[in-house]
Structure 1
Amino acid sequence: MTISSNLWLARLLALAIPALLIAGAYIAQYGFGLYPCEMCWWQRYPHFAAIVLALLAFIIPPARLWVVLAALAILVSGAIGAYHAGVEYGWWYGVTSCARLDVPQGANALDTIMNTPLIRCDEAQWRLIGISLAGWNFLISTIGGLSVFWLLLRKESDA
């Protein structure tokens, strides 16, 4: 059974979009010190799911089902990004407790608390042409997820 070129490209996009966005998030975090707030983490979780679902599309039939689920997960991350961007721009209120604390095994909890940066969900740490990282996630995820659906719905050309 051969896979159509549209499905092949949709499958590739469904893997590449979340993988590149997650890679960018980790580069921003560990390379440039832009630590994620709680709502930033919320945006990452659907991308992790999308990566797994897109990988399943490469190994377990029916590939189209896994790609559809991956595209939905990408769109969910985009929706969370839109909500988070709205909080950053002051369009609506977000969550009030936005500090994230992970205490490593065997570490002193007080030292961890004192050395953990407080990252607010309502203040963008970085912007490019006035758009925050959450806003960029919204734009890229929404356009990417819709592109995957467009490819899945597009008829194959006879060329």
Structure 2
Amino acid sequence: MTLNRRFLTALGTLGSVVLILGALAFQHLGGMAPCKLCYWQRYGHWAAIAFGALALFVPQRWLLWLAAAGAAASAGAGLYHTGVERKWWEGPASCSGSDIGALSADELMNQIMSAPLIRCDDIPWQLFGLSMANYNVLASLVIATLFILAARRPT
């Protein structure tokens, strides 16, 4: 059975909707406030939802490529967040820990007072050793693949 373009588009769009709803459920029902990088991961899915939904009504391949790019951007942000969580590289100074040894007392106090409540380099939830950012990378790549497959199918 060959999956048609409309079905793949709907599946990709639904996948992004499910990820956004899951993130909102963790945030509002689970009480897990998102960090800055968590928000960055959501932006790509909002784009994938918008372009995917539009492509369901206006069957243009370029909309599917933009939806795929949105999902892929979310995967990229999730990969970056994974590296920050695992301490492979430093994250943005505005949401990660930093070296305080070279700071003066005033600089240290300013850093403490302006520190975010939610740090990007902490892992607040894991399942089977994978964080939400890790799962987002995997799911986003699947969603991007669905949009790419849809874009390559005839109308």
Matches of 1:55 and 1:77, distance apart in 2: 17
2:122 matches 1:123: yes
The number of residues matched between the two structures is 136
Q: What TM-score results when the alignment is normalised by the length of structure 2?
A: 0.79
- 1:15–1:50 CA contact under 8 A, matched in 2: yes
Amino acid at match of 1:139: L
Deviations 1:28-54 (A, max 9, x none): 000111110000000111111111111
Per the TM alignment, residue 154 of structure 1 is displaced from its structure 2 partner at its CA by 5.6
Secondary structure of the residue aligned to 2:33 is coil
Which one of the candidate residues 10, 32, 35 is aligned to 1:34?
32
Query: Does 72-81 or 144-153 show the bigger shift?
Result: 144-153
Tell me how far 1:155 sits from its aligned partner. Answer: 7.5
Instruction: Report the secondary structure of 1:123's partner residue.
Output: coil
Cα separation, 1, equivalents of 2:28 and 2:78: 20
Deviation, structure 1 residue 147:
3.2
Is contact 1:6-1:152 (8 Å) kept?
no
Describe the SS at the equivalent of 1:53.
Answer: helix
Q: Percent of aligned pairs with the same residue?
A: 40
Match of 1:21 in 2: 19
- Contiguous gaps of at least 5 residues in structure 1: 100-113
CA contact (8 A) 2:78 2:137 kept: yes
